[in-house]
Amino acid sequence: MSNRTTVTEFLLLGFSNVRELQILHFVVFLVLYLASLVGNLLIVTAIALDHHLHTPMYFFLMNLSILDLGSISVTIPKSMVNSLMNATSISYSGCVTQVFLFLFFASASFALLTVMAYDRYVAICQPLHYEIVMNRGACVQMAAGAWISGILISALHTGNTFTISFCGSNTVDQFFCEIPQILKLACSDSDLNEVGIIVFSLCLAFSCFVFITVPHVQIFTIVLRIPSEQGRHKAFSTCLPHLTVVSLLLCTSSFAHLKPTSSSSSGLNFLVAVLYSMLPPMVNPIIYSMRNKEINGALSKWMCWRLFRKNKMSICLLR
């Protein structure tokens, strides 16, 4: 008991001690962060401003983009500021907040992706009942359920993590507050806590995976029976991006949290954390908009309107 100290801050993993590499880290993270921000903000803007996109599918996609914006904004800016200021510290309350918010956005994204799979199932397998089943009230309730489930899951994990006492080192072997790395700093044996978190996360991820996979199996079974090649292409173009996003999120996050933390090097932990914290929010807008004519059309109309308005104001000023 005499060796225990009250932890008031944590020290995060720095990219490098070399100043030039710290600046490089800041620039690279800034570019990736801005790319993610611009991509997700464009999707939110296009869906919000184009009334043709006010449908359940795009309503859920807009929610997913908002969650992606929150997810990447919780971890990356702090790491960038630390590199720029040549610092590594984060306050205890800041670490708790970071863990809670990151888990909230990640868990809500999983839940929302499950809801989106159900939406596609109803749209393709039960098209005559789609407007009745996926009415505005039902969509709002499903989205709210995804956000609320994210809050509950995050509160459970965060509370379970920070009820333990810390002693000795306060250095987190990661560039943001990550639960497996924080548990390694516990005074008491935290293996039971870590096993409980892994089992709970596995059960949750497996449940979402089942609820996402089963509807898509039924969707593909029905799509393959569609005689029209155009109809099959349209159905696949709405389902394949969704499966790609789900696979990307599940694979990166599962690999990050199921690998043994004690035997993993700091470099590997850093790389994996970058993959699952930055890659999905940055790639999701590209996946969803790359072959989506509706979103591309809405973005084109919005950009043309902005250019027209800007040119019109310039002409008026010249006069």
Q: Please report whether residue 124 resides in a domain.
A: yes
Under a CB-based contact definition with an 8 Å cutoff, are residues 73 and 40 in contact? no
Q: Of 25-29, 116-120, 147-151, 168-172, give the lowest mean pLDDT range.
A: 168-172
Among 283, 310, 311, 298, smallest CA distance to 42 is for: 298
User: pTM here?
Assistant: 0.83
Query: What is the arithmetic mean of pLDDT over 246-271?
Result: 66
pLDDT at res. 251: 72
Q: Please report whether residue 307 resides in a domain.
A: no
Q: How far are the Cα atoms of 11, 83, 86, 90 from residue 23, in angstroms, in the given order?
A: 19, 7, 9, 19
Domain of 219? 9-294
The answer on pLDDT for 192 being more than 70 is: no
Among 170, 15, 181, 169, smallest CA distance to 85 is for: 15
Q: Please report whether residue 317 resides in a domain.
A: no
Higher per-residue confidence, 270 vs 77: 77
Higher per-residue confidence, 89 vs 195: 89
Q: Please report whether residue 309 resides in a domain.
A: no
The answer on pLDDT for 316 being more than 60 is: no
Q: Please report whether residue 2 resides in a domain.
A: no
pLDDT at res. 189: 61
Based on the number of CB atoms within 10 Å of its own CB, is 32 exposed (0-12), middle (13-18) or buried (19 or more)? middle
Under a CB-based contact definition with an 8 Å cutoff, are residues 102 and 75 in contact? yes
* Alpha-carbon span 317 to 315, nearest angstrom: 5
Q: Please report whether residue 318 resides in a domain.
A: no
pLDDT bin (cut points 50, 70, 90) of residue 1 is: very low
The answer on pLDDT for 98 being more than 80 is: yes
pLDDT at res. 172: 86
Mean pLDDT of the chain: 80
Total domains present in the chain: 1
pLDDT at res. 3: 47
Q: Please report whether residue 146 resides in a domain.
A: yes
Q: What is the CATH number of the domain that holds 101?
A: 1.20.1070.10
Q: Please report whether residue 304 resides in a domain.
A: no
